Amino acid sequence: MTFVDTSALLAFLDRDAEHHTAVVETLSAVLANRRGIIHNYVLIEAEALAHRRLGGPVARRLLDDVAPLLEIVWVDADLHAAAVVAHLQALRRRSSLVDHVSFELMRRRDIRVAVTLDGDFAGAGFELVP
């Protein structure tokens, strides 16, 4: 499995994004093989940003066309609490609570690779693609 981050979803959807082509190449393979995983916080964050920045039709594309090709893990109380602890311990860094949920989920599922443009994943010990 490959974790898919908000930054990659936005670059995938935004044809004007700096890394659009590289992300499309990488993420298309992940989606075609049904090997992508996200959590519902990423989906909420990506939809809100896509809607605000790119408009309703792009947000609809995310929800109707992209999200169904991903495994969506619903954040439960235990995962959320573990991420909050990690986030509070790292407040001096720029990583967000959503990032810490992602890191915790990746560790629990033994996922080493993330499709992301967010360097915080590398800082947390994960391999980034593209």
- CATH number of the domain at 41, please: 3.40.50.1010
In this prediction, residue 39 has a pLDDT band, given cuts at 50, 70 and 90, of very high
Q: Is the pTM of this model over 0.85?
A: yes
- Per the domain annotation, does 89 fall within a domain? no
Helices of type H across the chain: 6-13, 20-32, 40-54, 56-61, 77-89, 97-109, 120-123
Query: Tokens 């994943």, residue?
Result: 121
Q: Tens digit of pLDDT for each residue in 63-86?
A: 999 999 999 999 999 999 999 999
Please state the domain count of the chain: 1
